[in-house]
Amino acid sequence: METNSSRKTLIIGVIIAVLVIGGVTVYALTNQQEPAPNSEQTQADTPTGSSDPASDTAPTPSERVAISFTDNGFEPDSVTVKKGTVITVTNNSSEDVQFSSDEHPSHRDNTEMNLEVLSPGESGSYTANTVGAWGFHDHLNDEMTGTVTVTE
């Protein structure tokens, strides 16, 4: 049979546990940080030419370049971009395309360029981070080629 003393101790223990759990939950909710936006959002939402001194230390948004794949090949088939530029490849052809770095079929010259197969109407992007001149081609039709030159 339980004594009043042990029953009181149990009740006090339960109350303390509830208060601790409640306090930890409230603390966690009030100090919760917003998740960092992904780089695509940061780039799109970062103002340029701001007079705010704090923004002078913020990274500048990346430039963007579009390459279209048509039934006639890549347009443009040669681009020069600065390091950090986002290159978007859009399939505007009637066939699938797989944008890949040279050497065919290994695609090891610059692996950051290698995109998944894009069906007609689909797009894929990558960030050009490796300085140099890089050949690319459609892995599915390696006669369709081009060059991306990345500068500092």
Token reading at 58: 């913020």
pTM: 0.59
Which tops the pLDDT comparison, 17 or 145? 145
pLDDT at 4: 76
pLDDT at 18: 78
User: Which among 75, 94, 91, 151 is positioned nearest to 125, based on CA atoms?
Assistant: 91
Token reading at 115: 């995109």
Helix (H, G, I), strand (E, B) or coil at 18: helix
Q: Where are the domains of the chain?
A: 1-32, 64-151
| pLDDT tens digits, 3-49 | 778 888 888 888 887 788 877 766 666 665 544 444 333 333 333 33
Identify the CATH homologous superfamily for domain 64-151. Answer: Cupredoxins -  blue copper proteins (2.60.40.420)
| pLDDT tens digits, 117-144 | 999 999 999 999 999 999 999 999 999 9
**How many whole angstroms separate alpha carbon 97 and alpha carbon 90?**
9
110, 87 Cβ separation under 8 angstroms: no
pLDDT at 149: 97
